[in-house]
A and B are shown apart, each in its own frame.
Chain A
Amino acid sequence: MRGGSAALLGILVALLPTSGTGVSAHRLDEYLHAARLAIGPAGVRLELSLTPGIAVADAVIRDIDTDRDAVLSQAERRAYAQRLLSGLSLRIDDGAVPLQLAVADFPAVATLRGGDAAIVLRIDARPPHLTAGAHRVSFRNGNATHGAVYLANALLPEDRRIAITGMQHAMDQSGLIVAFTVRP
């Protein structure tokens, strides 16, 4: 194997971008919050993937790494996850449902700094009793730092007793309302 020849091909093939594009623009300065709601008979499992772009990654890391030792300790991870949780709300029908953090996966600082790695939180919202009939989940993500952009989707229910009957997104997807039915 040896070195490449792209520069040589450049001599022979005139490739001229028509739009004057230059540097790649892979969400460098945005903090993507992707929420996925899995609705089941026992409640809602919320997965929140948080991907800071490379231009905001250091700011996000500073939010987490409060002692500035370039290591995300368990305590720092837990504290950051709890801060994020406090910015979320989930209601089933007319009642707020407590959010319980089940899993918090954090990449290493160096990986997070690359602009592609995601912090993943898995959160359980279990109402006291989900009766048969029609219900509605209302989710809201109020975390808005570092150029937050949002995706919010309901996963196709795995349990055949659950059927989604309608969805309503906030314009920027920071909120999602899902209407569903539970069969006995």
Chain B
Amino acid sequence: MHTSTRFVSVLAALVAAAVMTGLAQQAARSTPPAAAAPADATARIVAAAQAVLATLDDAGRATVQFPLEGPQTTRWSNLPSPMFERRGLRLADLTEPQRAAVMKLLASALSRDGYQKVLNIMDGDEALRLGGGGRGRGGPGGRGGPAFGRDQYYLAFLGTPSTTQPWRLQYGGHHLAINLTLGGSQASMTPSLPAAQPASFTVEGRTVRPLGDENDKAFALVNALDGTQRGQAILNYRVADLVLGPGQDGRTIQPEGLRASSMAPAQQAMLLGLIEEWAGIMTEAYAGPRMAEITSNLPQTWFAWSGPTTNGSAAYFRVQGPTIVIEYAPQGGVDHIHTIYRDPTNDYGAKLARR
């Protein structure tokens, strides 16, 4: 075959493969699961997980499967590979059908907005890669600098996917960690780490801000406070990073800032709307009960802020209550954001295991 002809054929095949992947992602984006009873949601997620397993050979199944309790539990980070060594099934190593099955699983486990947030974070990492941010090989045994892009995300199952017994879906890579623990009709999605760099980019002319709603809702809330409330909410010191980020499991810090009990109902509603940006990542069937729990503890929930209050500035904030910790920490500017979402009483589904 002539070189140019072969090139065209290869390119056509590559484009076709890429289109298939795009269609699979698009299909998952456009057909979110409808709200369901929690047990039904678990059954749907388990079926999607089993569908992933069915696409794998023995080596693939061995790669994705881990014990429920063990070092894989805490093997997540905001850092790219191989700066942080992840284990599990890497998207780069999957065929298109395998990858489509993984994306369908994520769409089943997450809400429509939550799934879109995950895609946006991955798209942001792709933008970082195309912008020259990541030229390393990534992955186990990778050499050179950090590797960025959509291929560098990992899936792991901790425990066996089951409709009755606890197990965990772990998915993540650079700037993303989802730890979804399921136990029958109960679920916990903490700790999780949605982050973004760049925080704003364009896809086909459309501006994408993976954490834009989080940012805008927080600025709206702090600007809705009166002078006395701001005096309590705004900390008089700089917060350089997440306090309870990766590696800080099991710790609870003394809350600071403004208690929600000192907020007006409209401000409380704004706070709940902000919280929902994290609590609503998991599928609606579980996000609803989770928000009800958080709402019941709202009077004991605190909102703290560090930094300027003009939207577009780099500012840190923290939401902390009996069953929730959220931190939002710009990394030196507005275009690189780390966040953490925890439940001090139920990280990794601790309460599920006790039931």
Contacts and interface: CB of A to CB of B under 8 A. Distances in A.
Nearest to B199: A19
Contacts of A5: 14, 17-18, 21, 96, 99, 151
Nearest to A173: B237
Interface size class of B (residues with CB under 8 A): 35 or more
Nearest to A115: B83
Contacts of A2: 93-95
A9 interface: yes
B355 interface: no
A170 B239 CA distance: 11
Nearest to A118: B247
Interface stretch (A70-78, A123-131, A151-159): A151-159
Contacts of B241: 27, 32, 34, 149, 151
Contacts of B134: 24
B146 A24 contact: yes
A16 B128 contact: no
A54 B132 CA distance: 19
B10 to A, nearest CB: 11
A25 B335 CA distance: 10
Interface size class of A (residues with CB under 8 A): 35 or more
Nearest to A180: B254
Contacts of B198: 17-19, 21
Contacts of B141: none
B150 interface: yes
A54 B127 CA distance: 23
Interface string A59-76: 000000000000000000
Contacts of A170: 237
Interface in B196-225: 197-205, 207
Point out which of A17, A20, A25 has the most chain B C-beta atoms below 10 A from its C-beta.
Answer: A17
Contacts of A26: 78-79, 83, 331
Interface string A1-18: 111111011111111111
Given A26-B331, A156-B252, A10 B21 contact: no
B159 interface: no
A59 B259 CA distance: 43
A6 B243 contact: no
Contacts of B146: 24
A150 B237 CA distance: 11
Contact of A9 (B83, B126, B131, B148): B126
Contacts of A32: 240-241
Contacts of B60: 1
B132 A12 contact: no
Interface in A18-38: 18-27, 30, 32, 34, 36
A60 to B, nearest CB: 16
B130 to A, nearest CB: 5
Contact of B92 (A6, A17, A149, A178): A6
B254 A15 contact: no
Given A17-B128, A18-B198, A9 B336 contact: no
Contacts of B240: 30, 32, 149-151, 173
A155 B243 contact: no
Contacts of B133: 21-24
Interface of B: 14-15, 17-19, 21-22, 59-60, 77-80, 83-84, 91-96, 98-99, 123, 126-134, 146, 148-151, 174, 197-205, 207, 235-241, 243, 247, 251-256, 331-332, 335-336
Interface of A: 1-6, 8-27, 30, 32, 34, 36, 49, 54, 114-116, 118, 149-151, 153-156, 164, 167, 169-173, 178
10 contacts: A6-B150, A18-B202, A24-B146, A54-B83, A114-B84, A151-B239, A154-B253, A155-B254, A167-B256, A171-B236
